Amino acid sequence: MKFLFITLLFFYSAEKVKSVEPNEILENEQLEKVAREIGKNLRCLVCQNEDIENSNADIAKDLRLLVRKKLLEGESKKEIIDFVHSRYGDFVLFSPPLRFDTLALWILPLVFFLFLLYLFFRRKN
Amino acid sequence: MIAELGIYFLILTLMFSSFGFSQPIFSIFNKKIIFFSQERLSTLIFIFTFLSFFCLTYSFTISDFSLKVVTNNSNTQLPLIYKITGVWGNHEGSILLWLLVMTFFGFLFSIQEINNKEIKTKTLYIQNSLIFLISLFIILTSNPFQRSFPPEIEGSDLNPLLQDPGLIIHPPLLYLGYVGFSIVYSISLAVLLFKINSNDFVKVLKPWVFASWTFLTLGIGLGSWWAYYELGWGGFWFWDPVENASLLPWLTASALLHTIIISEKRKLLLRWTLLLSIITFTLSLLGTFLVRSGVLISVHAFANDPSRGLFILLLLLLVVGTGLFFYVKSENFFPKRNQIHLISKEGAISLNNIFMLTLSFTILLGTIYPLFSSIIFNTKISVGAPFFNSILAPITLPLVIGMIFGPFLKWGNDDLINLVSRLKVLLFIFLFSALLIWYLNYRGPVLSIIFFIFSGLIITSSLFELTNFISLKPKIKFKKVPMKNISQLVAHIGIGLLIIGATGTSVLKKEKIQFQDPNQVILISKFEVKFMGVKNIEGPNYISEMGEFQIFKNGRFLKSLYPEKRFYNSSDQVTTEAAIYSTIIGDLYIAIGDKNLVDKDKSWTTRIWFNPFTIWIWIGILFLSFGGLISLIKSVRKK
Amino acid sequence: MKYFFLIFSLLIFTFFFYKGLQKDPTIIPSNLIEKQIPNFKLRKTEFFSFFDKSNLLEHREPKIINFFASWCPPCKVEHPNLMKLSEKFKIYGVAKKDNDIKIYEWLKESGNPYTAIGLDDDGSASINWGVYGLPETFIVNNQGKIIYKQIGPITNNELKKINNILK
């Protein structure tokens, strides 16, 4: 119980959703668009299930600024996402990387679909 | 005193529902032991639960802070309506509401006129047993009448986000949906468990499936609408675990709804009807309870409590285990009789069901995969919006195709070539519509064009169906359209509208975020938005910074909008209240941010969005619900 | 046969749900364990010794790196335990988005466990270390490899754990 209390203290309560501030938005519309795309894939680590574009938490803002800074320095979308991924691990990515253990996420639905086709349409003698 | 009465009535519920469960068992040994019929028990149980709920509501209304739950979730400054509806703004109160709805539906079922007495009694038996389990859960782990000693002078407050008209209707509507499926489950389990050899059950099942589905549709739609205007940045679906959990039973219920149509008409897929009934209620339980167990992270999460989690797990196991066990066991007296041809109405409906179930499965998989992966592979991953959005298109598009052509297929066995020749005119209209829509939208992303085209086609084909009921010779005459065709038409048009709205709002959104000075005009999508400044206003339990924006189009004044930032007195929380101007081509959505203290003295951060076609999401959902309502009325009248 | 399948899948489901109940979904494990110290840039304070990456690689001895701030309440909670640790080990502090004077005043009053302190003004050093909240503490071994990360304040239990690791 005490641990829970301290953990809650630790995660500073973010104010409710505010999203990108005017002075964060890049001048270059194209780059800003890419920044948003990247942002939608990055999880706000201290929030409940929000991405960094739509959170006012400190870490979300820092990551938003980092993404834009790197874009201005010419890094690619993949490079930036890989960088954040290398620092924070799988959890920060909202779409899990394609790996042996995440394969099931993509394959199982297909298997399920084919199985249902079989169940519904098979011929009984 | 009232609180003691509250718990007393709850215990009575527990007691009498236990009679409902145990009497038939004891009567095997001694026939004379039945004192109460299931019907009478259902009535009594409902009365007791209602009284218990009334006691809780009363305690909230008079701000009785000797009750823990009132202290934690209410406040004397709260407007009266939120004191009352705050009853279900917390775990304990909302579960009691769940129980109330369950007993209410049990009561309704008991006074319903059902020819087959066996189905009626046995269904109530299952229902009362379920009620016993839920009331046990409440008393053991979620007692709303727990006292706090010494009593507080003032309560913490209801979360400001919940101080909104949405709270008044959203949970009750949602629960009417979820809990309606308890009756659906009870009927199905009764048939399986007691080997009731009669196809009457489909007729009994139908109105309850449609009623529950309609309520659930409205409940989810309302939740989405509420999130849209309440959260301050125009999103309406976030793939949050709790949202997903509400969508799952809706999807399987939609499949069930279609299966029942086949079952009624052709006596096929009866086992699927039973299976889907069990699965839908299981998912309802899973949805309601998953977020209260601490297993998932979600914005909707209640305070976590592992002991509740354990009870919920056992409850789920019991419900789904018993259901599936007797389903498997029933193979002998309920044999399969499926001979479904792909090219036929049943084929199209079955294919649709397959896609709906696959979507359901995939969403469930995505939601629990992080848990699954952390236990097996010891990794910590996230599965969020990008994943769900990517699987949505490939599964929804075939569904839409099914909706477009399904209504034109014949029952039994149809012929593809014959179909094409029957629909010559329609296909030509399709081509024309597709090209028109593509032309109007070619600047948008490809996927959005595809969605617009397909939803346009659903609407076109539904309207085309109506032409079947117009005869041209000897003179133009309108035949009476059967109710079931109307309900299908309305519902499918609803889906089309919903897709248009959802696609427009999410993909074609326009945004302008800036520091705006008073009298400065921002141009967005043919609107001129003029900022007039911010005033401080006092609300009942908050202080608000209220901005004023004047909206012009081509220089002509349209309307003033007043977005706010509210600072709540008791909890130090801030909420953003957006201001929305809805038109049929889209919503102008405005929120204010912080005052700019650094650069200039008077400018504020303003966020202005234009969300195309948003209103069609809500209209589409209303159409869907209306379609369900028509079917419901029809199936009730038939008796 | 079908019953077997049914019971088996129910057992699996129970197993997962039950295990899930025992896990805390809010703890995020570090991705930098067993990896070398990352590159990072800090600003020098006015009152304290400074350090950079090369300092952390010197002297082939284990070190503690603690991310904190004077405005962070849980950091104050763990402070006594940091003082205890500083008696035996070198602790390097990274102050995130903080103010020289405020740090000085706080440490003057409560004691200074830090061998050296650097300022992370824009949060970039924190990101390089995969830090997402405060306080967070890392243990680096004598070869410059990160071997442990503590999320949240160092409680008495954690203190014991850290002492054991550093032996």
At B187-240, the pLDDT tens digits run 999 999 998 877 789 999 999 999 999 999 999 999 999 889 888 778 899 898
Q: Does C165 touch chain B (CB under 8 A)?
A: no
* Shortest CA gap C160–chain B (Å): 25
Distance, in Å, from the CA atom of C83 to the CA atom of C77, rounded to the nearest integer, reads 12
A91:B381 CB<8 A? yes
C133:A59 CB<8 A? yes
Name, of A28-32, B44-48, B156-160, the range with top average pLDDT: B44-48
Q: Which residue on chain B is closest to C26 by alpha carbon?
A: B297
Q: Are B221 and B173 in contact (CB under 8 A)?
A: no
Interfacial C residues in 40-59 facing A (CB < 8 Å): none
pLDDT in tens, B273-297: 999 999 999 999 988 777 666 666 5
B313:C17 CB<8 A? yes
Beta bridge partners of B408: none
Interface test with B, best of A32, A95, A123 (most B CBs within 10 A): A95
Please check the confidence at residue B147 and state whether its pLDDT lies above 80. Answer: yes
Q: Please, where are the H alpha helices in B151-195?
A: 165-193
Q: What is the DSSP letter of A91?
A: G
Distance, in Å, from the CA atom of B60 to the CA atom of B74, rounded to the nearest integer, reads 7
pLDDT computed for residue B302 by the predictor: 56
- Residue B294: how many CB atoms within 10 A of its CB? 21
Q: DSSP per residue over A92-117, as a string?
A: GBSS----GGGHHHHHHHHHHHHHHH
The whole-number average pLDDT for the span C10-33 is 78
* Shortest CA gap A84–chain C (Å): 8
Residue B40 falls inside a structural domain: yes
B293:C23 CB<8 A? no
Banded pLDDT at A12 (limits 50, 70, 90): very low
A117:B231 CB<8 A? no
Interface test with C, best of B374, B377, B381 (most C CBs within 10 A): B374
Distance, in Å, from the CA atom of C67 to the CA atom of C94, rounded to the nearest integer, reads 5
- Residue B540: how many CB atoms within 10 A of its CB? 11
**Nearest partner of C40 among C70, C67, C72, C58, judged by Cα:** C67
B373:A102 CB<8 A? yes
- Bridge-based pairing of strands B586-595 and B579-583 is antiparallel
Q: Which residues of A touch C126 (CB under 8 A)?
A: 62
pLDDT in tens, B577-630: 899 999 999 999 999 988 887 765 678 999 999 999 999 999 999 999 999 999
Interfacial B residues in 323-342 facing A (CB < 8 Å): 336, 338-340, 342
- Bridge-based pairing of strands B604-612 and B586-595 is antiparallel
Q: Please, where are the H alpha helices in B231-330?
A: 241-266, 270-290, 306-329
B75 by DSSP, 3-state: which? coil
Residue A14 falls inside a structural domain: yes
pLDDT computed for residue B2 by the predictor: 86
Distance, in Å, from the CA atom of C124 to the CA atom of A70, rounded to the nearest integer, reads 12
Q: What is the CATH number of the domain that holds A83?
A: 1.10.8.640
Residue B389 falls inside a structural domain: no
Q: Which residues, at least 6 apart from C127, have a Cβ–Cβ distance to it below 8 Å? A: A62, A63, A66, A84, A87
A87:C31 CB<8 A? yes
The whole-number average pLDDT for the span C97-102 is 93
Q: Does C60 touch chain B (CB under 8 A)?
A: no
Q: Domains of chain C (ranges plus CATH)?
A: 30-165 (3.40.30.10)
pLDDT in tens, B398-452: 999 888 888 888 888 888 888 888 788 888 888 888 888 888 876 678 888 889 8
**Nearest partner of B302 among A56, C18, A48, A7, judged by Cα:** A48
Banded pLDDT at C162 (limits 50, 70, 90): confident
Number of domains in chain B: 2
The whole-number average pLDDT for the span C60-75 is 93
Residue A7 falls inside a structural domain: yes
C28:A87 CB<8 A? no
Distance, in Å, from the CA atom of C33 to the CA atom of C145, rounded to the nearest integer, reads 8
Q: Does C77 touch chain A (CB under 8 A)?
A: yes
Task: Among A16, A101, A122, select the one facing B377 at the smallest CB separation.
Answer: A101
Domain boundary among B111, B138, B159: B159
The whole-number average pLDDT for the span B308-326 is 88
Q: Which residue on chain B is closest to A53 by alpha carbon?
A: B233
Element (H, E) at B521: strand B521-524
Please check the confidence at residue C75 and state whether its pLDDT lies above 70. Answer: yes
Q: What is the DSSP letter of B537?
A: E
A59:C123 CB<8 A? yes
Domain boundary among B126, B159, B192: B159
Residue B599 falls inside a structural domain: yes
* Shortest CA gap B307–chain A (Å): 14
Whole-structure pTM value: 0.91
Please check the confidence at residue A18 and state whether its pLDDT lies above 80. Answer: no
Task: For helices B200-230 and B615-637, give the axis angle rounded to 10 degrees.
Answer: 160
Q: Which residue on chain A is closest to B363 by alpha carbon?
A: A109
Please write down the long-range contacts of B74-77, taking CB distance under 8 Å and 24 or more positions apart: B74/B155, B74/B156, B74/B157, B74/B158, B75/B154, B75/B155, B75/B156, B75/B157, B75/B158, B75/B541, B75/B570, B76/B154, B76/B155, B77/B157, B77/B540, B77/B541, B77/B569, B77/B570
Distance, in Å, from the CA atom of B565 to the CA atom of B586, rounded to the nearest integer, reads 24
Q: Which residue on chain B is closest to A46 by alpha carbon?
A: B297
Q: DSSP per residue over B130-161, as a string?
A: HHHHHHHHHHHH--TT-B-SSPPSS-----GG
Residue A118 falls inside a structural domain: no
- Residue B449: how many CB atoms within 10 A of its CB? 20
- CB pairs below 8 Å between A and C: how many? 62
* Shortest CA gap C166–chain A (Å): 23
Interface test with A, best of B336, B382, B395 (most A CBs within 10 A): B382
Total count of residues recorded for chain C: 167
Task: Among C31, C122, C151, select the one facing A86 at the smallest CB separation.
Answer: C31
Q: Which of A20-29, A83-92, B119-128 has the lowest mean pLDDT?
A: A20-29
What are the b/e assignments for B311-341, b being 16+ CB within 10 Å?
bbbebbbebbbbbbbbbebbeeebeeebebe
Q: Which residues of C touch A10 (CB under 8 A)?
A: 74, 133-135, 151-153
pLDDT in tens, C119-151: 999 999 999 999 999 999 999 988 889 999 999
Residue A123 falls inside a structural domain: no
Q: What Cα–Cα distance (Å) separates residue B333 from each residue in B260, B269, B271, C76?
A: 20, 15, 11, 70
* Shortest CA gap A13–chain B (Å): 10
Structure-token match 């966020």, residue found = B607
Chains that touch B (3 or more CB pairs under 8 A): A, C
**Nearest partner of B366 among C16, A105, C135, judged by Cα:** A105
Residue A85 falls inside a structural domain: yes
Residue A39 falls inside a structural domain: yes
Q: What is the CATH number of the domain that holds B557?
A: 2.60.98
Distance, in Å, from the CA atom of C17 to the CA atom of B62, rounded to the nearest integer, reads 40
Number of domains in chain A: 1
C74:A10 CB<8 A? yes
- Of all residues in chain B, the percent with pLDDT exceeding 70 is 95
Beta bridge partners of B612: B586
C29:B313 CB<8 A? no
Q: Does C30 touch chain A (CB under 8 A)?
A: yes
Chains that touch A (3 or more CB pairs under 8 A): B, C
ipTM of the assembly?
0.86
Residue-number span of the structural domain to which A20 is assigned: 2-97
Q: Are A70 and A34 in contact (CB under 8 A)?
A: no
pLDDT computed for residue A27 by the predictor: 87
**Nearest partner of A64 among A88, A78, A86, A84, judged by Cα:** A84
Total count of residues recorded for chain B: 639
Q: Are B255 and B356 in contact (CB under 8 A)?
A: yes
Beta bridge partners of C146: C140
Please check the confidence at residue B634 and state whether its pLDDT lies above 60. Answer: yes
Residue-number span of the structural domain to which B114 is assigned: 1-159
A6:C134 CB<8 A? no
Q: Are B234 and B578 in contact (CB under 8 A)?
A: yes
Q: In what order do the strands lie in the sheet with C43-44?
A: C43-44, C114-120, C91-96, C63-68, C136-140, C146-151
More confident residue, A97 or B475: A97
